[in-house]
Structures are given as C-alpha cells and as structure tokens.
Structure 1
Amino acid sequence: MNPERGIKKAHCRIPVMSGRAMFLKKTLTTKNSQNNKSSILALFFLLMLSLMQSVLAATAYVDRNSVALNETFELTIGVSGITFSGSPDLSPLDKDFKVLGTSQRSQMNWGSGSGSSRKTEWLVSLAPLKVGTFTIPPLNIGKEKTNPLTIIVSKAPKANAANKSELFFDVEVDKSQGYVQQQIIYTMRIFAHKNFRINALSHIGDENFQDDRLSVIKLGKENRYRANIGNKKYEVIELKFLIFPQQSGKIILPAPQMIATFGGSGDPFFDRFSTRRRQQPRQVQINGEDIELNISSIPSEYTSSWWLPAKNVTFTQSWSADISALKAGEPVTRTITLQASGLRAEQLPELPQLEIFNAKVYPDKVERNTSFDGKDVIGKSVNKMLLIPSKSGEIIIPETKIVWWDIEQNRQREAVLPVQTLVVGGVITEPTRQKDVVPEPALVELDSNSRTDDLADTESLAEGSLAEDPVIITQSRWYVELGLLLVLVAVVCGWIFDRIRLQKKVAAQHSKSDEQDEKQHKERQLRKELKQACIGSSPKQVRQALINWGQQIIDSGIPVTLLQIESHFESSVLHNEIQRLENALYGNGEEGWSGANLWKAVEGVLDKSAGSEKYSGLERLHRI
C-alpha cells in the first residue's frame, strides 16, 4: 500500500466528517440556545422569587440565649432589601422583659454590577424581669413577623469579690428591729471601680416608690467619696434616707436596681456603633439586696395617748425679762423648747394650755424645725407665750409634762418642766378711808323737826357711804386703767411680732432671690460654654458641655444623661440633633458634623419654655 494514498484517503474523509460535525454542531447549537434561553428565563424568575421572599422576610436574633437576672442582652430585628419607615411593635416584650432602649442602623450593600441592597436593623436592649425560660414571640414589622426566640434566665449570683470588681450596691439599715414611727436610717452606696453612667436607678427614695406602711424622707444630698477595698480603689455615691414605719409586722425593703453602662476605654457613654470591640462599653443591670424589718406595736405599758419613740426628750425654757423684778401689768415672754432625738418636729405634740391665776396668757404660733446631727434626726418645737400679771403677789405656773418611750432602755420616761413660782411687785395700794373722800355728814340737809331716829338713820347711811362708795369708785378707775394698759401692750406686742415676721419673710425672700440669681448666673455661664463648644463643632466637647448644662437645668441629684435631657425638654428637634451628635461620636465619625443646628435646637426649647411653670427657674433666653 502506498502510504500517500492512505494519507489522501484520510484527507478525503476529514472534510466529510467535518461537514457532518458542522451540521450536527449547528443543530445542537440551535437547540442548546433555545434551552439556554429557557434556562435563563427560569433562573431569572427563580432569582426574582427568591429576592422577593428575602425582601419580605423579617429576622430576629439575640446576642445570648442564656442570661442572669442582673444582666442585660441585645435583641436585633432586621429587614433587608426594602426601605421600612416604621418600627417594630415591641409591646409583646413587656410581659417578661424591660425595654431599656432602642436604636436603628441602616446599611447599603453595592454589588459588582449596578444592583444594590439595603439592610435595616433595630437593636433593642432588654433586661429580664424574673427567673425562668421565656419565649420572645414573633414581632410585627409591617405585615411581616419575626421568628420566635427562647431565652433562659437564671438567678443572679450573690455578691462576692468577683462580682464586686467593677460595679455593685451596698445597702444597710442602722437597725432591723424597732417600733412603729421609730426612726430607721437606710443607707445605699454605689461602688464603681471604673467609669460608668447611670441610665436608670430605682430605690425606696424614688418618687415612684409607694408603700403606705412606710414614710420615707431623703436625708440631705448625696455624698461622693473614694474607698479602697482590698487593693482596688472605688468611687462611692452614698444616699441616706429616713424611714418611719407606720405599721407593725414584717416589712421588706425592696432591693435597689440600676441600669448602668461601664467599662470600655474610659468613655462613660455607651458606644453602640463602635467598631473597636475590645473598647466597647457594656450595659448591665445591677441589683442590691432586700432588707427585712421587724416592727413592734406600741407597748401595752405606755400610758400616754401621744406615741413618742425617741432616744432622748428634753425641755428648756427662757424668759424675755428678769423674772425676779416682775411688776403687775408688765408683759413678759416665756419660751419653751421641746427637743427630741430620733423624731421629726411634726411628731412632737402640742403643749397643754396652762391656766394661770392672776395673769393673762397669750400663746403664739408654734415654730417647728427638723435637723440631722450625723447620727439621728433632731426635732424641735418652740412654744412662746406672752404672760401679763394682773396683780401683785405670787403667780404659780403649773408643771409641763411629756411622756415618751426610751427606745434604748425600752421603758417609759417623762420630760418635765417643774412648777415655778413668780413674785410680782408693784403692790396695788388699798383705798384709804379719809373724810375728804366722801361728803361730810354736815352736807346732808336735815329738817329741824326731824326725829332722833331719823338722824340715826342718816348717820348710819353716811357710815355705809364711808365704808363702800370710795372703794367702788377707786376699783372702777383701776380696772379702766388696767384695761387701757392691756390694750396698749397688746397693740405694741402685735406690732413687734408683725415686724419680726416681716423681717424674717423679707430675709427669706432675699435669700431665695440670691440663690435663684446664683443658679441663673451658673446656667448662663454653662449655656455660654455650650454655645462656644457648638461653634467649635467638636462632638466630644459639645457632649460634655451639653451634659454640664443639662445637669444644672434638671438638678436631679444624680448624673444626667443625654436621654434625660431629651425627655426633660420634650422637643423632637432637640432629640434629632442629639441623635446626630451621638452618630458623630459613635457611628460615622466626626467629620462633617456641625454644632450649629444643635445650638439652634437649644435656643428653640429655651424660647418655648421660658414662660412655662415647668421651666420657671430659667430666665428668658438672651442671645449670648
């Protein structure tokens, strides 16, 4: 065989086979093209259906499924692909959880082509209300619902050295047993090893606390100091309250609770949007401990109708003049001070009205005052009475006695002002029977023919006149003079007392006015600093200046937060600007943020609230 012929044959066959292949390829290409178009259309519809389902679906998840009772956790609710202008319905959460706060964030994702997707999330901070296993039910977002979630809540661990490393409560009472209406001092301390912010605080002195069995009074202002526990230094906030039980039996003082933000890089504000995980502050719920009181009723051996449980009760008295030189008709003021250790002034009784012979008594209004000596509350009542002797001689002032119960010796005692005798000088002179006081018997005209017995009768009548008429005339004059003197004394004393009251009232008004002026001056200075910070547009400086100014306005006794400032003024404009400030601090960075709009919002709320009672302490805004 000639190889070349083989080669030619091979070459002849290739075109034939290539033609068939081309025919088959063309045929298959046409069919595949049609199939590909169908496949692409099917894939497109499947993609659109999947996209629609993903758009309309709402999701929910938590950062932890198991928490302790004193901890908080975060629920995240999200939707993707659509712009949702509303907010989720969180009302189903109120049954088992406390909503501490919410925030919203949005994110736009751009693909390699022209497509994009939008994701919106709501971050909800929650605190459990009780121990157990709970289900977060599906939450409504428009027409859609989220998936249910299960949360397991365990008991809060007891306070120990590990728990006390950062933030904890310490509560105590000076006594856990006592009598009805006896003073009990309740002390609450907050220990913090790191910077923190109080978001919410509840305790027995809170205005929302109500218990008819207790009368609770805040004792002074909060006290701030530092303390060392082991080798750690703590900042301490101390609050004291006076508790007066109104009912016998066992009474539980509920534990204080606090929602706080602490930790992180030292910034006391919750950096929700921070990307630096290790420096992000944490929000926690801190609980104190319950305290049990055992209150006894009034002892059966107590004999008085006015119950006074105290450590000590004393009487003191003073006089406005020297009582050894008293004269009839001259007024003198007696001041009696009743003081009790462990009782408020309102708990002290009225002193009994004394009946003093040979003197007129005019009691004045009782003055009451309550103070605190560092250990006990001190109640005082000052009783004044104006005493005017009506005649010379001795005046006996009866004793004044108060029965009280000694809570330290557990027995009944008495506080007594003993009987006192006053000697009044200026003896009233008795009228002298002188012949020139009455007409001479010769002045009585008699008929010369009158009988002797008539003359005797006339002489007897004259003697009666000598014995009685001069005394009656003299006593009447004396009573008139004394009455005029008493009226004059009463007018003078009334004028003096009114003058004293007026001076005290004016002094109090001046003091109040000076205090108000000082507060307004400080508010103006802090407002000026806030404006300067807004002009500088430094978010950190603006935040601090806004908090300082809000602390002066609200004056709540505890550190003020930006959320409290928003709630205080109830302004949507200010709310929006504070949100932008927080986003500048914790979200998108500080570039591009301006404090001018925030300052305009502050001016707006001040202009609006200048005439309202709620902000009566603020003077009308003047442009600084």
Structure 2
Amino acid sequence: MQRNAPFLLLAALFATLCLATVAQAALVAKIDRQRLALDETLTLTVSKDGSSFFSEPDLAPLEPDFTVISKNQSSSTQIINGQMSASVQWRFVLSPKRAGRLQIPPLTLGKDATAPLSVEVSQEAPSRPRADDQPLFLETEVDHREVWVQSQVIFTLRLLWAVPAQIQDPADPQLENAILEKLEDTTFDKMINGQSCKVFERRYAIFPQTSGQLTIPPMTVQAEVAGQHRSGAFFDPFGSRGKPVTLRSNSETITVRERPADYPTTAAWLPADKFSLDAQWSQKPDELKVGDSATLTITMVADGLPGAQLPPIQLPEMDTIKLYQNKAEVANHPTGQGITGSRQESMALVPTKPGNVELPEIRIPWWDKDKQQVQYAVLPATRLTVHGAPAAEPAAARPAEPAPPLQAPPTAPAVAPPPAPTARPTGWMALTLLLALAWLTTTCLWWRARRLAAAGQPPRPANPAVAMKEEEALQLLRRACQANDPLSARSAIIGWAAARWPLERRHTLIDIERLYPDPRLAALCQELDQTLYGHGEQAGTWQGQGILALVNKIRKNSRETRTKDNPLPPLYH
C-alpha cells in the first residue's frame, strides 16, 4: 500500500487539475487594434483558462476575410496557497483580404467559443518602405515611365536587409487591363554604406492592354525580425520570438501611348525590341516529287512581346499542291531582359502535279521601339520545283520501234565474180532475223500485259517471289490498320500498291487513287493525309478498318474479274 502511495497522490493531483480546468474553462479573444489599412496586419490573441495540450481553436471561420500569417502558442501553470491554476494562449497574426468593416467570427475549441469581434479596414495606408530602427527596407522601380500600348515594361520589387529576418513571399500585384508575366527571382549580396546586405529581387514583365494611365499599386511585404535577448522570459530565453514588420512601397504610374499613326492599320500591332522570321524545309524545295510530303516550318521570335500576341501565318490555296496546316506552337521564354515570345507554324505540302510553283513573299511589319519606326521582317518568295508524272491517267505507252536492219559498210567498186550455183545466208542476214524475232516477242508480251491490265487483272510475274511480296505487304498493311497507326498505314498501302501493280511507275497515294478510281478510296486517302499533316489532335482518333476493308474488296473484285474473263488457266505464261 505504501508503495502505491506516490501514484495515488499523482492521480489525485491530476484529477484536481482536470476538475479545475473544467470548472474554470473559458475562451476569450482580443485584438491589438480595431482600425488598420488593407495592407497591414493585426494580432488576435485567444486565451483559455485550463490546459489544452493537443488542440487549438478552429480557424476555418477566418478564411473568407483574413489570411493567417503566423501563429504561436504559450502556456503557464501557477500554484498559490495550494490552489493550482493553468492557462494557455494563442497569438495569430492576421492580414485582411478586403476593405470595409470585417467581423472576426466566434472561434471554437471543444464546447467553448469566443465572442465575435469587428475591425475597420481602410483601402490605403501611407507608404512605409523601411522598418523602424532596422536595416530592412523595400524598393520598387520601372524601366520606362512611358510605353506604347501592349509593349513591355519591367517592374522590379527589391527587398534589402542586414539583420536576421524571416520574409514571407510577396503577393503578385493586381492590375487591371494588363498582362502580367512573372520573371525569375534573384538573391545576392550588396554593400550599402559599408554594411553587407542581402538583396532579394523579383521582376515582372507587364504588357498594358489599353492606353492612358496604368497604376501599379503599393507592394506589401510581411517580415519577422529576430528580437533582442530577454533574460526574464522563461519560455523565450534567447529572444527567438521575432517582431512582425510590414513594409509598404509607393505606387508606380506609367503613361501608356496609343499605337503610332504611321503604323499599317490592317497589320497586327507588334512593338518589340527585336523581331525575326525564319523558314525551314524538310527537303529542298527544288527537289519535290508528286505525292510526297514536304514540311515547311515558319518561326517568329520577338523580344519584348508575349507569344500569344504574334499573328498567325497562312499560305494561299494552290491548285497543284494540297496544304495541311498544323496547330501553331506558342511559347514565352523569360530572359534577363524580359519576355521573348515565339510562334511556330508548321504546314505539310503535298504536290499533285509536276511543274514549278512559287510561294509568295511573306512580309510582316513590326514597331522598332529603339528606333521608333516601322520595320519589316521578310521571307522572300520561294520557287518550288515538282518532279514526277501528273496524277491524271498517263497516255498508253508506245511500243518500241524495231531496230533498223544492219547494213554492210560501203566498199570500193570491184568486178563481180560469177554467181555460185547455190546461195547460203551470210552472217549479217542471220543477225537481222534474230533481232526481228526478239522485237516480235517483246511486242506480243507488251500487248498481253496491256490487255490484262485493262481487264483489271495484274500481270502475273514469272518469278513467284514477286507474288509473295504482295502477301507480305498486305500483312504489313493489316497490322498497321489493326493498330490504327496512320503513319505506318500510309507507308504500307504504298508498298502494297507497288507489289500489286509492279509494272506501274513509283507510287504515292495519288497514284493509287488513279489506278483504282473509287470515290471511297479517294476519301480514305484524303482522311489519312489530313490525319498526318493536318491538326495533330486527329492522329489519335484515326481508324484503319476502312482502308483495310477497301483493299480486301479490291483484291476480291480482281479475283472475280479474272475468273469471269479466264475460266481456264492459260496454257502458256
């Protein structure tokens, strides 16, 4: 029994403390100020009689009107004349989100709740770029006080300090009728009046969208400067509780001018520090071939302009070239001087007829901010040379002319000998007969091939390896169509056509449409090219069943036609 006495005493003491806590529990809230500016802070203190080791007041009711900047907790316990009392205190630094009369609603902890409080928040407050008696101050600047509408102005926020401090991330400025692009932050050291300071810089690229006056409101930075050593504070012996500081800059005003009167009225307004226009071809423009695809990529780059402001480029429609415009790629690239915008246009050109075609000159005006005048970025006209047969049905090939008979070279006149009783063919006569026989055989084979082609039956190759090639090409086409792979399907159908009609010219999709003039085939080939060379988002939706079914139908119709026209196999091949 004596051994358990200390534990019983401790349990009784804890029970007494809990009873006292329950009996005396009360939640009280107070604020250090009732009037403040929108960019200032206030301190809300919540106290409770009793102990609260693992909980704190619910702060969710504050979220609509306040931001909690920081919070800390302290507790104390006292024993006077044998009576024990405990209390806990929370300190919350709050920043208002809007101006007007705001209410701090009741905050709850368990079954207890605070009474509501109200504060008056004004819209503006006087600037305070430097902390009192502390080497901590705030600066802002703009690189131009007067700019053209939609042109770039660089706004810099700079914070300098020479004492240990915790600085909160500054909020971005809120602007009307302007585009804001955040640039990279930098931190470095700087000597000021012989004292080493830390410097934090944040830069923004701002693009005013309307003429007139643009005002950048004051920037506010919340910081906490390390306090001095206080030996009497038991719970803060090293002075670790910082002193909250609010720094507030001056506002900045910029005059925004309208676009100059001498700028082309129908052109896109492009005020820039530098502007460039470049073109790249996937192959040489003078080596294009009918049915093949060539990609033209045009890139615009502008220093001091966002990419979204650069205009689109469209080539005119051409009768002898199919044009497939891809989706433009627009980007912004932060640099040390601001924003560099880019726009890349990519288009596929598929020639349908041979000949020469000229792409017209591309001429884009832009405003040189340095020289204050209109400049032009120019891509000169490009001459395209397309090789290959036209897509129309070619004329029937003419048979080769027979070689003229060989004749003996002239010789000097001489007295003819008397005729022999029997004449035998000489060597040149035998050679002439041999050449004539070869020409006759070639003509018969050509005539037979043309007759079979007219009936829809491909010539039967003497070598069975050629027939196997069509089956292999068909397997490749079947796999590509079943996988819904448009790029592989385009290559496979051209390979299958080359094996199907081996005596025809080099094949493209246009040639396949010519060899089998079916509107459904033309529509499917057009869809395939549009998927590959049109907008990129269509590539994932292409389905290959249509082309595969049509190819199978072509082969079936050819077999039926051959069976109807030739019920018995020919004796000779």
For normalisation by structure 2, the TM-score amounts to: 0.52
Q: Give the 3-state SS of the residue equivalent to 2:218 in structure 1.
A: coil
Shift of 1:385: 2.6
Which residue is 1:217 aligned to? 181
Say whether the 8 Å CA contact 1:261–1:281 is kept in structure 2: yes
Higher percent of residues as helix: 1
Tell me the distance in 2 between the aligned counterparts of 1:144 and 1:338: 62
Mark the CA change 1:62 to 1:327 in structure 2 (over 3 Å): closer, same or farther: closer
Which of 180, 200, 205 is residue 242 of structure 1 equivalent to? 205
Question: Which residue identity is paired with 1:226?
Answer: D
Say whether the 8 Å CA contact 2:273–2:303 is kept in structure 1: yes
Give yes or no for the alignment of 1:262 onto 2:225.
Answer: yes
Mark the CA change 1:123 to 1:396 in structure 2 (over 3 Å): closer, same or farther: closer
Deviation sequence 1:429-454 (CA, Å, 0-9, x none):
997998999xxxxxxxxxxxxxxxxx
Which of 380, 389, 392 is residue 342 of structure 2 equivalent to? 380
Q: Give the 3-state SS of the residue equivalent to 1:346 in structure 2.
A: helix
Shift of 1:166: 3.0
Which residue is 2:78 aligned to? 109
Tell me the distance in 2 between the aligned counterparts of 1:61 and 1:435: 109
Q: Give the 3-state SS of the residue equivalent to 1:175 in structure 2.
A: coil
Deviation sequence 1:105-143 (CA, Å, 0-9, x none):
4434323x3345555655454679999xx9999x99989
Q: Give the 3-state SS of the residue equivalent to 1:484 in structure 2.
A: helix
Which of 353, 372, 387 is residue 315 of structure 2 equivalent to? 353
Give yes or no for the alignment of 1:187 onto 2:156.
Answer: yes
Say whether the 8 Å CA contact 2:363–2:379 is kept in structure 1: yes
Which residue is 2:511 aligned to? 484
Tell me the distance in 2 between the aligned counterparts of 1:127 and 1:402: 50
Tell me the distance in 1 between the aligned counterparts of 2:213 and 2:38: 26
5 Å matches for 1:67-466?
Answer: 100-101=69-70, 103=72, 105-111=74-80, 113-118=81-86, 121=89, 123=91, 125=93, 158-159=128-129, 165-199=134-168, 201-204=170-173, 209=174, 211-220=175-184, 222-264=185-227, 274-276=235-237, 280-302=241-263, 303-425=265-387
Which residue is 1:445 aligned to? none
Q: Give the 3-state SS of the residue equivalent to 2:311 in structure 1.
A: coil
Deviation sequence 1:345-394 (CA, Å, 0-9, x none):
22211112323354333333323332233213222222233334444443
Alignment RMSD = 5.8
Tell me the distance in 2 between the aligned counterparts of 1:431 and 1:318: 37
Say whether the 8 Å CA contact 2:75–2:89 is kept in structure 1: yes
Tell me the distance in 1 between the aligned counterparts of 2:31 and 2:259: 55
Shift of 1:169: 2.2
Deviation sequence 1:310-340 (CA, Å, 0-9, x none):
2222221122223344455554332222222
Tell me the distance in 1 between the aligned counterparts of 2:294 and 2:51: 89
Mark the CA change 1:432 to 1:293 in structure 2 (over 3 Å): closer, same or farther: same
Tell me the distance in 2 between the aligned counterparts of 1:130 and 1:489: 61
Question: Which residue identity is paired with 1:284?
Answer: V
Tell me the distance in 1 between the aligned counterparts of 2:116 and 2:385: 94
Say whether the 8 Å CA contact 1:56–1:144 is kept in structure 2: no
Say whether the 8 Å CA contact 2:326–2:533 is kept in structure 1: no
Say whether the 8 Å CA contact 2:286–2:384 is kept in structure 1: yes
Shift of 1:279: 5.7
Say whether the 8 Å CA contact 1:198–1:260 is kept in structure 2: yes
Mark the CA change 1:316 to 1:264 in structure 2 (over 3 Å): closer, same or farther: same
Deviation sequence 1:400-425 (CA, Å, 0-9, x none):
12233333333333322222333445
Deviation sequence 1:439-486 (CA, Å, 0-9, x none):
xxxxxxxxxxxxxxxxxxxxxxxxxxxxxxxxxx9xxx99x9883268
Say whether the 8 Å CA contact 1:319–1:332 is kept in structure 2: yes
5 Å matches for 1:501-516?
Answer: none
Tell me the distance in 2 between the aligned counterparts of 1:406 and 1:71: 43
Question: Which residue identity is paired with 1:248?
Answer: S
Say whether the 8 Å CA contact 2:183–2:203 is kept in structure 1: yes
Q: Give the 3-state SS of the residue equivalent to 2:151 in structure 1.
A: coil
Segments of structure 2 that go 5 or more residues without pairing to the other structure are 1-23, 402-453, 455-503, 514-521, 540-573
Deviation sequence 1:15-38 (CA, Å, 0-9, x none):
xxxxxxxxxxxxxxxxxxxxxxxx
Deviation sequence 1:267-311 (CA, Å, 0-9, x none):
xxxx99744375642121222332222222334443125332222
Mark the CA change 1:230 to 1:365 in structure 2 (over 3 Å): closer, same or farther: same
Question: Which residue identity is paired with 1:239?
Answer: R
Count of residue pairs brought into register by the alignment: 394
Shift of 1:212: 4.3
Question: Which residue identity is paired with 2:177?
Answer: R
Mark the CA change 1:366 to 1:277 in structure 2 (over 3 Å): closer, same or farther: closer
Question: Which residue identity is paired with 1:110?
Answer: I
For normalisation by structure 1, the TM-score amounts to: 0.49
Deviation sequence 1:563-601 (CA, Å, 0-9, x none):
xxxxxxxxxxxxxxxxxxxxxxxxxxxxxxxxxxxxxxx
Mark the CA change 1:140 to 1:159 in structure 2 (over 3 Å): closer, same or farther: closer
Question: Which residue identity is paired with 1:352?
Answer: Q
Q: Give the 3-state SS of the residue equivalent to 1:202 in structure 2.
A: coil
Question: Which residue identity is paired with 1:372?
Answer: P
Question: Which residue identity is paired with 2:205?
Answer: L
Segments of structure 1 that go 5 or more residues without pairing to the other structure are 1-54, 438-472, 504-624
Say whether the 8 Å CA contact 1:359–1:388 is kept in structure 2: yes
Mark the CA change 1:403 to 1:100 in structure 2 (over 3 Å): closer, same or farther: same
Mark the CA change 1:316 to 1:125 in structure 2 (over 3 Å): closer, same or farther: closer
Tell me the distance in 2 between the aligned counterparts of 1:149 and 1:339: 52
Q: Give the 3-state SS of the residue equivalent to 1:236 in structure 2.
A: strand
